Amino acid sequence: MLEKVVEFAGEALPGGNAMPPYSESQFLVELGERVRSSRIHCSMSRRELARKSGISERYIAQIEGGKGNVSIVLLLRLTWAMRRSQRTAA
């Protein structure tokens, strides 16, 4: 997931491929969609992801809905929780 986020962010950062100005709200919506699809791919509920990442279920719902202005540190926590879940499922 982290690779997808980095690739996506690179499109919107200066020197990236995005057409300026890149909509911040659209960025958050697309990011939320990617977080949701990654969570579903890992067969995790929001509740399980919240428990494993230490981020509230409500805030995860806001992120997935494109409403939460998420930090890189929180993205790392989400990624770590999803990767850990995949390793234990294998």
Q: Count Cβ atoms below 10 Å from residue 43 Cβ, excluding itself.
A: 10
The answer to whether 49 touches 35, Cβ cutoff 8 Å, is: no
Q: What is the pLDDT of residues 76-89, one digit of tens each?
A: 999 999 998 877 76
* Largest distance between two CA atoms of the chain: 42
Query: CA 27, 29, 31, 34: dihedral to nearest 10 degrees?
Result: -140
Q: What is the pLDDT of residues 10-50, one digit of tens each?
A: 555 555 555 555 688 888 999 999 999 999 999 999 999 99
Task: Report, as an integer, the average pLDDT of 45-71.
Answer: 95
Q: What are the residue boundaries of the structural domains of the chain, listed by start?
A: 29-90
pLDDT at 86: 77
Question: Tell me: domain 29-90, CATH 3.40.50.620, correct?
Answer: no
